[in-house]
Amino acid sequence: MSGISTFWVAHETGQSATGNQIRVQQMAILSRRTPVIFIAVAANALLTGGVAGSVQLPEFALVWTTIMVALSMAGLYRWAVRRRKQSPERVSERGPRRIAIAATLQGTIWGIGCAIMFPIMPGMEQMLIGIVQAGMAAAGASILATLPAASIGYTVGCLLPFAVRMALHDDVLSLSLAAMTLIYTVALLATARSFYISFVDSVRGRVATERLLTELSGARQDLLDAIASSTEGFALFNSEGGLVVANDRFAELLRLKQEVARSGRSFEDLLKGAKGEIAPEWIRSQVARYHACDGQQVVAVPDGRWLGIGHRRAGRGGVVTTLIDLTVFKQNEAELIRAKVAAESANSSKSEFLAMMSHELRTPLNAILGFAEIFMNEMFGPHSDERYRIYATDIHEGGQHLLHVINNILDLSKVDAGRFELNVDDCNLGDLADSVVRLMQAKVDEAGLDLVVEAPEGLPTILGDQRVIRQMILNLLGNAIRFTDSGGRITISITAKPSGDQTLTVSDTGIGIAAKDIPRVLEPFGQADAGLSRRQDGTGLGLPLVQSFIALHGGTLDLTSEPGVGTVVTLHFPAGGVTDESADSAS
């Protein structure tokens, strides 16, 4: 039966939602129209059989009428038995198929009976039978239009035997009646098809509407579930200011009484109905924010809590209000502020302690260095034993190293405390590099290294602290000497860019630093080789001091290295160097 329906009008079949809904609606419509069909068939059968039986063929008319009435009464009884049952949500294809077979059978019996009785009837009786025949075909085609197989079967079965019987006669009138019957049949089927198209379109629209309503209902329920389970308070107010929906968290955060948190209440009424005493000024300020829809703000609640209260305008003129409990976050923020202040205070105390200790250590250390120089130079006469002078030299070198460490610690503590002052002057990076090379040339030669300085002629000067820049070059060159094996090469190169920036690079072919150790060597006292058996001495203050000093000059430090290949450290000086104002602010 579905094949005839889809041939009649293409549509969904099988177990699809639209196909099932088409069958459900077909059965529902036919169930409502069944009494009309069966009563009409029985009444017209009695009328036609009575007229025909009174004139010709009484036995045939009786049998035919009995069959038609019996079929109608049987169908009516079946309908009466099943009409109280609830309309099913799903209908298989067997139900419409049985109805189509029954309709085709009944229409065919009707058509055959009329085809037999019509030719032998007098004129008036023929007219009556013809009118009833046409009416029954039209009624069947329209009433059964929602089930194409039944409509086609009943209409064709009702009219085709009559047209065939008329075509068997040779007279013009009979042939004309046959032709008119066929044309009438086509017209009825075309009308039934248009009815079925409208029916299928309406079912499709209904299925689409139900699907949309289901999706909207599911989406609405999902939204309500999400709102209900949210850790944030949520409330929606309509354009008149009345509460539409709110979750339990909203009532909990506002401490609303149960009798207050009802739909239709305004935001102001909700605040006034909250538990505890709330100052009217606070309520007025929050109501003003609600009307202004000024976004999210952190608000101190009179009971000591902190809430993030946000208002924004909804699509249809309403207001969406959200609440977030920020009390714990504010407490943590206060704890972090206190911890930061304590840490800054401790760091300042540490820097002051280091500076004080450095001053206290340098005073006796200067005396030690002075007396060591006296013994080294034999100012009061020659020693009786050469070992006195050798030991004095060792004491002096150790004291110089300790003084260098103390000076580095003092400088680092000043930088950390923000009290390091730059003596700004014109600086030529090439001249400063040459002075450092002259100072360190003896150590370079002693280490068996090759040192090269590459600087362009006419290098412009920059503003900076000559002593600090010289100290940076000295620290970088000292590291390169310590960590480069004999026969290696150290290069100091200076470049000037068109923008006015200048770079000073110290590269070596030393042992290098692993990538994972680079952040550590830039920290105070950090060592790439931190074990007790490390190859070279050092306090780990050289690179951190250089990084701090170049930052005071408004520049940056870049360090790249590869174990077994070497290390490249580049200092970037901005155009013109540091100014007096930037030096003061850096300090």
Kindly report the number of other CB atoms within 10 A of residue 165's CB atom.
20
Q: Output the CA torsion sign for 256, 260, 263, 265.
A: negative
- Cβ proximity of 238 and 244 under 8 Å: yes
pLDDT digits (tens, 9 = 90+) for 187-216: 988 888 888 888 777 777 777 777 888 888
Q: Residue 183: what pLDDT?
A: 92
Q: Which residue has the higher pLDDT, 320 or 274?
A: 320
Give residues with Cβ within 8 angstroms of 69, minimum separation 6: 42, 45, 46
Beta pairing, strands 566-573 & 489-496:
unpaired
Confidence of residue 419 (pLDDT cuts 50, 70, 90): low
What average pLDDT does this structure show over 221-246?
78
- Cβ proximity of 379 and 370 under 8 Å: no
H-run or E-run covering 295: strand 295-300
Residue 582 pLDDT > 60:
no
> What pTM was estimated for this model as a whole?
0.42
Q: Residue 75: what pLDDT?
A: 79
Q: Output the CA torsion sign for 193, 197, 198, 204.
A: positive
Q: Residue 53: what pLDDT?
A: 74
What average pLDDT does this structure show over 15-21?
64
pLDDT digits (tens, 9 = 90+) for 68-84: 888 888 877 777 776 65
Residue 411 pLDDT > 60:
yes
Q: Which residue do the tokens 């290069």 mark?
A: 491
Burial zone of 105 (CB within 10 Å; 0-12 exposed, 13-18 middle, 19+ buried):
middle
As a whole number of angstroms, the distance between CA 76 and CA 36 comes to 9
Lowest mean pLDDT across 41-45, 311-315, 404-408: 404-408
Kindly report the number of other CB atoms within 10 A of residue 240's CB atom.
9
pLDDT digits (tens, 9 = 90+) for 150-196: 888 888 888 899 888 888 887 888 888 889 989 988 998 888 888 88
Q: Residue 535: what pLDDT?
A: 46
pLDDT digits (tens, 9 = 90+) for 84-119: 555 556 566 677 778 788 888 888 888 888 888 887
Q: Residue 37: what pLDDT?
A: 78
Q: Which two tokens stand for residue 447?
A: 């280490």
Alpha helices in 230-326 (DSSP H): 248-253, 267-272, 280-292
- Cβ proximity of 147 and 162 under 8 Å: no
Residue 505 pLDDT > 90:
yes
As a whole number of angstroms, the distance between CA 579 and CA 371 comes to 42
Q: Which two tokens stand for residue 399?
A: 């004291």
What are the chain's domains? 2-213 (no CATH), 233-325 (3.30.450.20), 331-417 (1.10.287), 425-586 (3.30.565.10)
H-run or E-run covering 388: helix 386-417
Using CA atoms, how far residue 426 sits from 467, 576, 577, in Å, is 12, 9, 9
pLDDT digits (tens, 9 = 90+) for 289-344: 888 887 788 888 887 888 888 888 887 788 888 888 888 888 888 888 888 888 77
Q: Residue 489: what pLDDT?
A: 92
Q: Residue 494: what pLDDT?
A: 92
